[in-house]
Amino acid sequence: MPKRRDIETILVIGSGPIVIGQAAEFDYAGTQACLALKEEGYKVILVNSNPATIMTDTEIADKVYMEPLTFEFVARIIRKERPDAILPTLGGQTGLNLAVQLAKAGVLEECGVEILGTKLEAIEKAEDRKQFRALMNELGEPVPESAIVHSLEEAYEFVQQIGYPVIVRPAFTLGGTGGGICTNEEELIDIVSTGLKMSPVHQCLLERSIAGYKEIEYEVMRDANDNAIVVCNMENIDPVGIHTGDSIVVAPSQTLSDREYQLLRNASLNIIRALGIEGGCNVQLALDPDSFRYYVIEVNPRVSRSSALASKATGYPIAKLAAKIAVGLTLDEMINPVTGKTYACFEPTLDYVVTKIPRFPFDKFESANRRLGTQMKATGEVMAIGRTFEESLLKAVRSLEIGVHHLELKDVNTAADDVIEKRIRKAGDERLFYIAEALRRGVSVETLHEWSQIDRFFLHKLENIIKMETVVQSHPGDLEVLKKAKALGFSDAAVANLWNKTERDIYELRRQEGIVPVYKMVDTCAAEFTSETPYYYSTYEEENESIVTEKQSVIVLGSGPIRIGQGIEFDYATVHCVWAIKQAGYEAIIINNNPETVSTDFSTSDKLYFEPLTAEDVMHVIELEQPVGVIVQFGGQTAINLAAELEARGVRLLGTTLEDLDRAEDRDKFEQVLSELGIPKPAGKTAVSVEEAVAIAEEIGYPVLVRPSYVLGGRAMEIVYGQEELLHYMEHAVRVNPQHPVLIDRYITGKEVEVDAISDGETVVIPGIMEHIERAGVHSGDSIAVYPPQTLSADVIEKIVDYTVKLARGLRIVGLLNIQFVISDSDVYVLEVNPRSSRTVPFLSKITGVPMANLATKAILGAKLAEMGYETGVCPTREGVFVKVPVFSFAKLRNVDISLGPEMKSTGEVIGKDMTFEKALYKGLVASGIHIQPHGAVLLTVADKDKAEAIDLARRFVEIGYQILATNGTAATLKAAGLPVTVVNKIHSASPNILDVIRQGKAQVVINTLTKGKQPESDGFRIRREAVENGIPCLTSLDTARAMLQVVESMTFSTTAMTEGLVRS
């Protein structure tokens, strides 16, 4: 069927900020879709509030709106732009929910906007539990017994009928937010109450638990002509009970016979046809391991995380084709972009095994509940490809960047047997490693199956790996054994460990003996057709298919899995780096392992190697490709961390040299640089022992900022106010020794400012300066950043520019650098310099129009910024105000303290832009999910040190008509200042206490600066968690509160009584 000519303009809704359950995969999908629609000649209007995305680049859509993804703003854009159609299936749950809202409110009808892809009716049939069940019954597709409940009473009723365990799934929530499995009454009360609150329609589905069934997913596509295909099926190694986003997943399914495969395939196609979806759809099924019985668990009538994974696992670009289907094209008339010869209407077949392992944020959130269940907790994922299951799994394991290179995790080998059993029975994020350890201790596959319900197939494969360890160990130097181990995916580090050699020894031995991997192509068709796709993975076999071209090439290292501190921003810069390399006339080669990203779209680079980012795996590619050099600046700390090892192996790093990278990152060298340049920094020293740390802190005076060196995202960074606290920190948070020094700095209270700059060694271009709302001490990634600076004097700005230029030149930066300053009075101190692309590069690039990653790449490749029309100094300020507001995923992570501090906690960010600061911030806050109420009540509980400051804040709230609620201490202060305050009881007092106030929605904002820390039992902690769980904005920095107040004030007309007596007197 030809594409539709009756529509010209299409509005695409993005997915907004990165949160747990909705990550970079939607940038990948959205970018593909926008480009696909443009390719077909449509005018594309995009709305997305996430500045860190490729899709919001102005090259991707015809018009880009970076506005909040709320009904009000999107409706306004629709009324203004009058698009002919809207494509809501590429923006995750956010996009879908918005479309439903817009349709129900009549906006789409009013403006004559058609929904493309999946019709409203289908969205509702798939998403509304009741309608979904009715449809499944109609189709004869089995669903587990269930009930839809709107209250706890209804939940009781259901459980009385079918008994425990039951699964709770709140309706219309992201990544299963608020759901869980209940095995007893206590859990039922807890989870159902939360679930009802989380669900925008106050509805939960309770269903019989089918935990232990095989969880199988099918990614299906259908066009308007009713052609329907399966792109990929996937099997979760973790059986039903753990969210698929948190499960280790393999593609294709491994333990299904053809009959089972076809049974579930038929069901999936049946469903997509019945829903009438035109595009992609994800069907999750549960299959009884002991019969043909199966249940349909869930259907996502849109592209999803799983479809991104399926696209990367097969090469088949689901989002791109889904977009084309949405405008009327059919699968049988579109060419399969991978082969370039065959048609898109076929089912990809794999000749390799794909493993996906989720990446969890628990390294950041020590207190978080690590138990996995139906609510997703992972922030990102890695994927690996191999020709054996073992190879694919072990490659994925070492891609995780959690300090493991094999199925060995720190401290697991010393765990007691009963702990091992517990960790396997109750799945947490580290279960795989516990299973490996259990196998080493001789626990049988049968027992492990009983503990974990993981299919014996996978357990036997793990056993294979463990058995190979013994073989390797008992055959030191044996090349045949080495070959076998490599084919099973063993890293050099793992072999080195078993042979008591260094990783480098093993690598060199292999090189000498020719035991090196070959590269195979991912081509959707198992080599049945020739294919031009430059998408490769390594394996230890005979034939290499990756042909090195005549063209000079440059290798770019990606940033690996998305985690807190290293998000999509680094993929953004990586993609721009790749594009710039192409522009400069080189062949751009990328190595990365994150399936969610644009950088791992095979059409982004000239060649894509889907590989772990370890020295060994990267070296293999380098030795084959013989590039001009390697760029490590854009892949965050992942790539930077590889720099030294690569250079040691003779690789040429492009851009800032290793020596200079080290001068910026090594504390002592950096201090020397600063003193040479005459740039001040807060007093501080490096400690290599606990005693030394104490002495240094005494010397410079408390409070001090302590952190391990070489960290990203402020991991383990804390502000310490006294010696006792310092000792606790040294003991618990870090391992200090000469190899792992701890940095101790004076903590300066002041305004924080952040700058990104591009340098070619001579010209230093500063696109803009960003001022943080929160004072120093809150991690820059968690601060609200404002451009242009609102309160800095010309003098201060001059100093910042001067220091930046000096540092760029002094550190001999070629490429990007990021500097954080703290301003105290009018003194400017340097906090840190990151000699690489930073989190703010996409934000700053977009708002200033300076293509930072592109310029930096060209500078790295030898071009001069002056020749490209840039000069040293800060670029002219753009009109308007732009704010970057962090977004957190606290609702998904129980037991995590939400208070802001030096350690980064946010998962994503949004942009707010307008002509005034207040309007921009309003948009930023709204886009980040905060509801700003023009009136209501504010609940204040602040620490003693903040009380004076709180008075001013409270007064202004009173001024605009807010009611003030406060706990005793705070209330006393406020009362003394003459403010009207309602006292609320402390936590342990009788009801209604502070928690009740929050639960009952009596406060619209909570401001809490009490007892920060990681102890879940503290009062402050409970107050903050209660606010999060009830969806009430909770501000833990008075700076944020003040900024928000400023916004509310600006929304409110002043209501001042007439001044008395002026006339008469």
Partner 1 sequence: MKRQLILEDGSFFVGEAFGSLKETTGEVVFNTGMTGYQEILTDPSYCGQIVTMTYPLIGNYGINRDDFEAICPYVHGFIVKEACSIPSNWRGEMTLDAYLKEKDIPGLAGVDTRKLTRLIRQHGTLKGMICGLDVHPAEAAAKLRAMEWPRDQVKRVSTKSAYPSPGRGERVVLIDFGMKHGILRELNKRHCDVIVLPYNATAEDVLSWHPDGVMLSNGPGDPKDVPEAIEMIRGILGKVPLFGICLGHQLFALACGANTEKLKFGHRGSNHPVKDLRTGKVAITSQNHGYAVTHESLVGTHLEVTHVALNDGTIEGLRHLDFPAFTVQYHPEASPGPEDANSLFDEFLTLIREFSKKGEVIHA
Among 98, 149, 277, 350, binds partner 1 (CB under 8 A): 350
Contact between 259 and partner 1 (CB under 8 A)? Answer: yes
Q: Is 331 in the site for partner 1 (CB under 8 A)?
A: yes
Establish if 914 lies at the interface with partner 1 (CB under 8 A).
no
Q: DSSP assignment of 283-336, as one string?
A: EEEEE-TTSS-EEEEEEESS--HHHHHHHHHH---HHHHHHHHHTT--GGGSB-
Q: Which is nearer to partner 1, 138 or 258 (CB)?
A: 258
Any idea what DSSP says for residue 907? -
Strand 553-557 relative to strand 629-631, pairing: parallel
For 76, 121, 260, 897, the CA distances from 107, given in Å and listed in that order, are 10, 16, 45, 40
Q: Decide if residue 387 touches partner 1 (CB under 8 A).
A: yes
Q: Shortest approach of partner 1 to residue 393 CB, angstroms?
A: 12
Q: List the structure tokens of 895.
A: 């037991």
**CB 154, min distance to partner 1, A:** 36
CB of 1033 to partner 1, least distance (A): 49
Site string for partner 1, 440-479 (x = CB under 8 A): ---------------xxx--x-------------------
Q: Which stretch in 120-128, 200-208, 222-230, 798-806 sits in contact with partner 1 by CB under 8 A?
A: 222-230
Alpha carbon 501 to its chain centroid, in Å, reads 37
The least CB distance from residue 263 to partner 1, in Å, is 9
Which one among 114, 187, 332, 408 touches partner 1, defined by CB under 8 A?
332
- 350 or 734, CB closer to partner 1? 350
Is 753 within 8 Å of 733 (Cβ atoms)? no
Which of 480, 543, 879, 1017 touches partner 1 (CB under 8 A)? 543
Which residue, 341 or 441, is less far from partner 1 as judged by CB?
341
Beta-bridge partners for 317:
none
What Cα–Cα distance (Å) separates residue 428 from each residue in 424, 432, 832? Answer: 8, 9, 35
- The nearer residue to partner 1, 308 or 445, going by C-beta atoms, is 445
**Among 259-267, 556-564, 576-584, 758-766, which window interacts with partner 1 (CB under 8 A)?**
259-267
Residue 746 host element (H or E)? strand 742-746
CB closer to partner 1 out of 296 and 354: 354
Name the CA dihedral angle for 500, 502, 508, 514, rounded to a multiple of 10 degrees. Answer: 50
Judge contact between 53 and 29, C-beta under 8 A.
Answer: no
Q: Which is nearer to partner 1, 223 or 401 (CB)?
A: 223
b/e map 666-677, b = 16+ CB within 10 Å = bbeebeebbeee
The distance of closest approach from Cβ of residue 834 to partner 1 in the complex, given in angstroms and rounded to an integer, is: 42
Options 151, 257, 470, 916; binder of partner 1; rule CB under 8 A: 257
Minimum Å gap between C-beta 449 and partner 1 is: 9
Strands (E), 957-1011: 963-966, 982-983, 1005-1008
Choose one: 184-192, 240-248, 542-550, 936-944; the region binding partner 1 (CB under 8 A): 542-550
Q: Using CA atoms, how far apart are residues 84 and 56, in angstroms rounded to an integer?
A: 21
Find the binder of partner 1 among 101, 119, 120, 227 (CB under 8 A).
227
Is 876 within 8 Å of 34 (Cβ atoms)? Answer: no
Query: How many residues line the site for partner 1 (CB under 8 A)?
Result: 53
Q: Which of 62, 76, 145, 255 binds partner 1 (CB under 8 A)?
A: 255
Determine which residue in the list 157, 351, 446, 731 makes contact with partner 1, applying CB under 8 A: 351
User: What radius of gyration, in Å, describes the C-alpha atoms of the chain?
Assistant: 28
Answer yes or no whether residue 254 interacts with partner 1 by CB under 8 A. yes
CB of 335 to partner 1, least distance (A): 10
Of positions 212, 276, 289, 969, contacts partner 1 by CB under 8 A? 289
Binding mask 511-540 for partner 1 (x = CB under 8 A): ---------x----xxxxxx----------
Choose between 202 and 460: whose C-beta lies nearer to partner 1.
Answer: 460
What is the distance between the alpha carbons of residues 115 and 99, in angstroms, rounded to a whole number?
8
CA angle 882, 888, 893 (to 5 degrees): 175
988-1027: contacts with partner 1 (CB under 8 A): none
Kindly write down the DSSP assignment for every residue of 15-58, as one continuous string. Answer: --S-BTTB-THHHHHHHHHHHHHHHTT-EEEEE-S-TT-STTST
152: number of CA atoms within 13 Å, CB side? 11
Binding partner 1 by CB under 8 A: which of 186, 290, 550, 879? 290
- If binding is defined by CB under 8 A, does position 347 make contact with partner 1? yes
* Min dist. Cβ of residue 480 to partner 1 (A): 12
CB within 8 Å of 444: residues ≥ 6 apart? none
Nearest to 466, CA basis, from 444, 490, 439: 439
Pick between residue 55 and residue 331 the one whose CB is nearest to partner 1.
Answer: 331
Name which position in 101, 225, 473, 1050 contacts partner 1 (CB under 8 A): 225
Rounded Cα distance between 1012 and 777, Å, is 13
Task: Give residues in contact with partner 1 (CB under 8 A).
Answer: 225-227, 229-230, 252-259, 261-262, 265-266, 269, 289-291, 331-332, 341-343, 345-353, 387-389, 455-457, 460, 520, 525-530, 541-543, 545
